[in-house]
Amino acid sequence: SSAQQHFRRIEDQCGLSGAQLWALREVAGHPGQRVSDLAKTMSLHLSTASNLLDKLAKRNLIRRERNDPDQRIVRLFLTEEGMRIVAGAPQPVRGVLPEALNRLPDEVLDNLNRSLAQVLDEIGVRDKEAAMKPLSDLILSEPK
């Protein structure tokens, strides 16, 4: 598949997994974020995110800083090498749906948004965190 080819290209070009590059991009986009913020963004358990960051730190791609009054808080930053990797890495694969949505006029997107909101109301989704859950989980867990 094209996604597999993309991830192979990332590994060949950067020597990183897709998840590692994603983490680097997130840190690049939000320098100083906490580990818990990164874990939430990537939908990872905190320990999984920490293990991922350990690998990146060992390769000197990120640095962790504890400079808050609460020394338990760890802030994440890219190193120079991390910035170099992100700058030279292949861009994320964009599928046909995002490309098509980008070409639609605002009026059509507004109508689509309203229509999808009605669909979600019919399903009975009330959870603000629903955007990070598969639809099948929402249908099975949400009372109508």
**Predicted confidence band of residue 14 (pLDDT cuts 50, 70, 90):** confident
Mean pLDDT, rounded, for 108-137: 78
pLDDT at 11 over 60: yes
Assigned CATH for 2-88? 1.10.10.10
Q: Centre a 10 Å sphere on the Cβ of residue 21 and count the other Cβ atoms it contains.
A: 23
DSSP for 33-75, written as a single string: -BHHHHHHHTT--HHHHHHHHHHHHHTTSEEEE--SSSTT--E
Band the pLDDT of 6: cuts 50, 70, 90.
Answer: low
Lowest mean pLDDT of 37-46, 70-79, 92-101, name the range. Answer: 92-101
**Residue 59: band (very low, low, confident or very high) from pLDDT cuts 50, 70, 90:** very high
Q: What is the mean pLDDT of residues 41-49?
A: 91
So where are the chain's domains?
2-88, 96-141
Backbone φ and ψ for 76, nearest 5 degrees, come out as: -110, 140
